[in-house]
Amino acid sequence: MRRRLARSVSGYRSSDPATLAAVRGDHSLMPGGTPPAVPLTPAAVLVPLVTRPDGLSVLLTQRTQHLAAHAGQIAFPGGKQETSDADAVDAALRETEEEVGLPRDHVEVVGRLDTYVTSTGFEVTPVVGLVRAPYPLKPDPVEVAEVFEVPLAFVLDPANHHRQSREFKGRQRVFYVLPYQQRYIWGATAGMLVNLAQVLAG
């Protein structure tokens, strides 16, 4: 697992083609789809893999309903990369600590997934980290309604990767959905989870 996730998050790209990060995004599932023709804003999220005796799980957040953007959606902790951040890792760990109170010394960064470009103009670096359980949490009540875990085995099963489509601002949009129990994981978060499954499957 560590070898497959061992992609640089600081600008350096290995000469091993198996470790190179590609670019995907909301456009990837559309025939001839292209990234949005707008300036992209760098962002980073943490893909936290929690180590438990019965196996790994993925930590996710449910955003609060009153937020101006992506209200109520399920997401990884993370956000916009600030000029004060050293790199994408620093941004992902800072945002995670601010959103859910998970200290960075509880996270062992092991690599990254493919860069994900959103239709809203963000270029997201998904940083993968192992989280020791038990771990302290203090969710920000303004941004986070709930923190929960999904078994990694569920994410790895291709039978749980569903494609759906809907019209958005006059354009047809195709996206992944991972329905887990009563939760609706979709969009960029689902796309990154599918990428995680693909990387770990080799």
Summarised one tens digit per residue, pLDDT across range 139-191 is 999 999 999 999 999 999 999 999 998 776 666 778 899 999 999 999 999 99
Q: What percent of the chain has pLDDT over 90?
A: 66
Q: What percent of the chain has pLDDT over 70?
A: 85
Quote the strand ranges of the chain, DSSP E.
Answer: 23-25, 41-52, 55-63, 74-75, 78-80, 107-112, 115-117, 122-132, 144-151, 162-168, 171-180, 183-186
Q: What is the DSSP letter of 158?
A: G
**Do 121 and 39 contact (CB within 8 A), yes or no?**
yes
CB atoms within 10 A of CB 170: 5
pLDDT band at 4 (very low <50, low <70, confident <90, very high): confident
Sign of the torsion angle spanned by Cα atoms 179, 184, 185, 187:
positive
Average pLDDT over residues 1-30: 63
Q: What does pTM read for this prediction?
A: 0.89
Task: Describe the strand order of the beta sheet including 183-186 as a list of residue ranges.
Answer: 162-168, 171-180, 183-186
Burial 61-75 (b: 16+ CB within 10 A, else e): bbbbeeeeeeeebbb
Is the peptide bond prior to 139 cis by the omega test (within 30 degrees of 0)?
no
| Spatial distance between the Cα atoms of 128 and 131, rounded to a whole number of angstroms | 10
Domains (range + CATH), the chain: 2-201 (3.90.79.10)
